């Protein structure tokens, strides 16, 4: 196995402590990363190697499994001396150098620029860049050029952790390995598609970032549009990274500009979530008392191509909603004739991404007994019971893919820019709006979100 050194910028941050160190440790234990994987953490906080090792072990709840103890460098992202020190640390490290940029988007160009100046990483390195990648299409294009000056495109891995989730990866297998699905996966048989990404939490200490980004940039531009692309893409000619990403770009480029009347923005007020009273968004620490940043977004999208013309994709995401859940629900057309009372139930295919990973198909079935009474029933596929093993965490899978040089589950430069281009006009309009529609914490968002689908004679589906 090729020797590996992981260099984490933002090493004391929330993402590193909650996700990255646990994913690295689990992969080392499982033999998916080398037993002597080296970890170098970089952040502004002053500490020595021993203190950093304690931080890492506290994060994973146990001993660091690699035979190489964690190392640490303190410094600012734009400090040249930091990169000289890093070059010195890496000089004796063989194999692949994987640079993980868990830093705000405004620091990415500085980090990769300094890496290039110090001649660190280009020859045998790869860089993983966390989202958000830019704040609009123009900044994403500028950032792409900056990163590509330091690393060739083949060595750049723009990460969206949703793509590492097992159920998301299974969308393509489900669609393209089952002959029964593809003939009905089009506007002739599908009435509409709903995609929901709901969170029960508030800003969770990320107020400084979130009050600048909001739900549209934080969730819709990356996570939800990735789910749209995988659900709507054409079959690739071959299953390869570039072929899959080519088809996703085509979908994102075909999204019709979102009209103001096809979008709803909201902001949570005080309320009750899971039996607990919670405060409103403007009362969160670090949020301006007059903030108009949205914590909820609902959109009606159209994809202008032959397969999906006229089929609405309804998207919604928000914080402080009643449940934590991400799901794609494909609603098929009703039968042309209602032969049985109650049989006009909509057939719904639900792909549940989290918290439980499963795929279910709702169909009509006869209720036992006299008469012909039709009830909706579910045909279920559940990962845990079908394969009798837990799915790997998204970051575990994505870290292994990056070390193997497998880019299928990472976004390409034109893909990122196309996703921003689809939402930029709406984001700019929302930035200028002075109000957000209020909704009580623990509800499903503003009433206008219900009206958005109701005016089409439809309704939001619950689990």
Q: Which residues are catalytic?
A: 223
Q: Confirm if 235 and 248 have CB atoms less than 8 A apart.
A: no
CA angle 423–426–432, rounded 5-degree value: 140
Q: Confirm if 196 and 143 have CB atoms less than 8 A apart.
A: no
Q: Confirm if 267 and 437 have CB atoms less than 8 A apart.
A: yes
Environment class of residue 455 by beta-carbon count within 10 Å: exposed (0-12), middle (13-18) or buried (19+)? exposed
**CA 452 – CA 332 distance, rounded (Å):** 19
Whether a cis peptide bond, with omega within 30° of 0, leads into 76 is no
Q: Confirm if 398 and 409 have CB atoms less than 8 A apart.
A: yes
**CA 411 – CA 401 distance, rounded (Å):** 13
Environment class of residue 93 by beta-carbon count within 10 Å: exposed (0-12), middle (13-18) or buried (19+)? middle
Instruction: State the DSSP H helix or E strand holding residue 157, giving kind and residue range, or none if neither.
Output: strand 156-158
Residue 202 in tokens = 């508030």
**CA 208 – CA 286 distance, rounded (Å):** 6
Q: Confirm if 357 and 389 have CB atoms less than 8 A apart.
A: no
Residue 147 in tokens = 């990163």
Length of the chain: 463
């Amino acid at each position: 196995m090729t020797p590996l050194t992981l260099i984490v910028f933002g090493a004391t941050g929330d993402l590193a402590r909650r996700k990255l160190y646990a994913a690295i440790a689990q992969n080392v234990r499982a033999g998916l990363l080398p037993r002597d994987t080296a970890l170098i953490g970089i952040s502004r906080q002053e500490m020595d190697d021993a203190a950093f090792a304690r931080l890492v072990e506290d994060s994973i709840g146990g001993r660091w499994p690699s035979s190489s103890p964690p190392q640490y460098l303190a410094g600012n992202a734009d400090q040249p001396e930091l990169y000289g020190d890093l070059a010195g640390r890496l000089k004796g490290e063989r194999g692949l150098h994987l640079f993980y940029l868990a830093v705000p988007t405004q620091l990415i160009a500085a980090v990769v620029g300094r890496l290039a100046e110090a001649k660190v990483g280009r020859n045998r390195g790869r860089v993983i860049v966390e989202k958000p990648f830019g704040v609009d299409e123009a900044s994403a294009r500028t950032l792409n050029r900056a990163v590509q000056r330091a690393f060739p495109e083949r060595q750049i891995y723009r990460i969206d952790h949703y793509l590492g989730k097992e159920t998301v990866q299974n969308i393509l297998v489900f669609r393209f390995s089952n002959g029964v699905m593809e003939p009905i996966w089009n506007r002739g048989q599908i009435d509409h598609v709903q995609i929901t990404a709901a969170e029960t939490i508030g800003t969770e200490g990320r107020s400084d970032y979130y009050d600048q980004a909001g739900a549209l940039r934080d969730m819709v531009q990356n996570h939800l549009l990735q789910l749209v692309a995988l659900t709507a893409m054409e079959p690739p000619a071959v299953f390869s990274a570039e072929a899959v990403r080519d088809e996703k770009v085509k979908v994102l480029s075909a999204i019709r500009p979102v009209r103001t009347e096809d979008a709803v923005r909201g902001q949570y007020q005080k309320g009750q979530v899971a039996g607990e009273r919670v405060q409103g968004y403007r009362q969160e620490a670090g949020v301006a008392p007059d903030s108009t940043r949205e914590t909820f977004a609902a959109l009606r999208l159209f994809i202008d191509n032959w397969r999906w013309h006229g089929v609405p994709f309804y998207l919604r995401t928000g914080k402080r909603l009643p449940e934590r859940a991400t799901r794609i629900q494909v609603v098929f057309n009703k039968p042309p004739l209602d032969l049985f009372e109650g049989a006009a139930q909509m057939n719904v295919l639900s792909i549940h991404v989290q918290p439980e990973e499963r795929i279910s198909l709702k169909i009509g079935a006869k209720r036992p007994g006299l008469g012909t009474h039709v009830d909706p029933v579910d045909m279920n596929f559940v990962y845990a019971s079908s394969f009798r093993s837990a799915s790997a965490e998204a970051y575990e899978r994505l870290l292994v893919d990056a070390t193997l040089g497998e880019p299928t589950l990472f976004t390409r430069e034109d893909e990122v820019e196309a996703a921003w281009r689809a939402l930029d006009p709406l984001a700019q309009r929302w930035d200028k709006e002075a109000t957000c529609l209020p909704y009580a914490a623990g509800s499903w968002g503003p009433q206008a979100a219900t009206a958005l689908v109701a005016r089409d004679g439809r309704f939001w589906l619950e689990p």
